[in-house]
Amino acid sequence: MRIPVSLVLISAGLAGCASQPSQTGLVSPGQAGEPPGIAGLADSQVRASFGEPTFVRKDGSAEIWRYDGQTCRAFFFFYPNGSGEAVRHVETLPRGTTIAADTTCLDALRGRPKVS
């Protein structure tokens, strides 16, 4: 029996929605799966530590900031938090060994010269 392509695409889309993070509540700063000291940071705190992002993208209520280094990239995922936005998740390329973010990459990006 052939399954219509449209049914496959709809099923895949619904599965993708189910895997998206909840829009309510943020992770606590020490939550497992996130590097220490990143989750829960306000956008102003990320700018103070990492400077201006290389690229910013809005996607629904989320805002994604990308930072480019010589050997890696970091992606900070911000969601509304009270009167501002805060980091809920961070990933790096290359990825970390046990979590999505490599702390060596984040440390290198913190130390890069700030563009003014």
Nearest in space to 40 (alpha carbons), one of 104, 4, 89, 2: 89
Mean pLDDT of the chain: 78
- Top pLDDT among 32 and 85 is at 85
At 104, which CATH number? 3.30.1450
Number of domains in the chain: 1
Q: pLDDT tens across 3-44, in order?
A: 554 444 444 444 444 444 444 344 444 455 788 889 999 999
Query: What's the rounded Cα separation, in Å, for the pair 98 and 116?
Result: 34
Query: Is residue 86 one of the residues assigned to a domain?
Result: yes
Neighbours of 36 (CB within 10 A): 9
Q: Is a pLDDT exceeding 80 seen at residue 67?
A: yes
Return the pLDDT at 20: 42
- Which residue segment(s) compose the domain that 85 sits in? 26-110
Return the pLDDT at 106: 94
Return the pLDDT at 112: 65
